[in-house]
Structure 1
Amino acid sequence: MVLFRRSLGDVLRRERVQRGMTLREVSAGARVSLGYISEIERGQKEASSELLASLCAALEVPLSDVLREVSMEVAREESVVLAAATPLKVHPRPAAGEVVASAA
């Protein structure tokens, strides 16, 4: 099962780390408790749209960029889940003397 909150947390953490920011710095900038941001990054809490906007402002990253990255990550996870759930098709063996392919 693909969880949006886990992907969102992963993206937010990556953005924070890429910018060399600590949880404390993001917490002060977003005016959100450090513990709550940590729970969001670990995918344990859902972020409201207002909170997400505050986090993005503190990280100086457009909300649309974060949502685009989350969307791409969810799509990648879904494709893995679908591939694992799709049974492999077994093709019957060709009969003796049957031509399967020819080279030109």
Structure 2
Amino acid sequence: MVLLRRVIGDALRARRQGQHRTLREVSTAANVSLGYLSEIERGQKEASSELLAAICEALGARLSELLGEVSGTLALAEGMEGVLVPVDQDSAPKKAAAAIATNGSVSVSVRQDTPLKATLRATRKRERDVVYAA
């Protein structure tokens, strides 16, 4: 099962790294401890809406943009069989399973480690990589 806090953390980390900023820079700007921001990015802690808004502001993003990205990633994952539902332990493979889906602008890869743990990674094409036809 994919955890919402992991998808949110991945989206925050992708934005921060896309800006070539350190955890320290963003944590200072958002007025949150570096360790706590790191735990949020790794999906180990759930951030409150107020904290998410502060982190988004520090990243120069709207909370609605972040949540829109998260929503799109989850919607794509829902279309991947078995990603958002618990896996029966008896039928689970011995090795981690991986699945990849794409809708053109978003690619999602999933690694199923255990019946209740999946890691979801989403990548989006950058606007500068998109070619507009005249």
Indicate whether the TM-score tops 0.5: yes
- In 2, the alpha carbon distance for the partners of 1:47 and 1:59 equals 15
**Which residue pairs with 1:49 in the alignment?**
49
Code of the aligned partner of 2:66: V
Identify the residue that residue 40 of structure 2 maps to in structure 1.
Answer: 40
Paired residue secondary structure (1:80): coil
- Other-structure match for 1:62: 62
Give the number of the structure whose residues are more often strand, by fraction.
2
Which consecutive residues of structure 1, in runs of 5 or more, have no partner in the other structure?
A: 86-104
Counterpart residue type for residue 33 of structure 1: S
* Residue-by-residue CA offset, 1:40-65 (whole Å, 9 max, x unaligned): 00001001000000000100111111
Aligned length: 85
Amino acid at match of 1:57: E
Hey, which bits of structure 1, 4+ residues long, moved more than 3 A?
81-85
Q: Which runs of 5+ in 2 are unaligned?
A: 86-134
Q: TM-score, normalised by structure 1?
A: 0.76
**TM-score, structure 2 length as denominator?**
0.60
Structure possessing the higher relative contact order (Cα contacts under 8 Å, 6 or more residues apart): 1
Which aligned pairs between 1:10-25 and structure 2 lie closer than 5 A?
10-25=10-25
Confirm or deny: 8 A CA contact 1:2 1:78 kept in the other structure: no
Residue identity opposite 1:21 in structure 2: R
Cα-to-partner distance string for 1:60-80 (whole Å, 9 max, x where unaligned): 111111000000111122211
Residue of structure 1 equivalent to 2:78 = 78
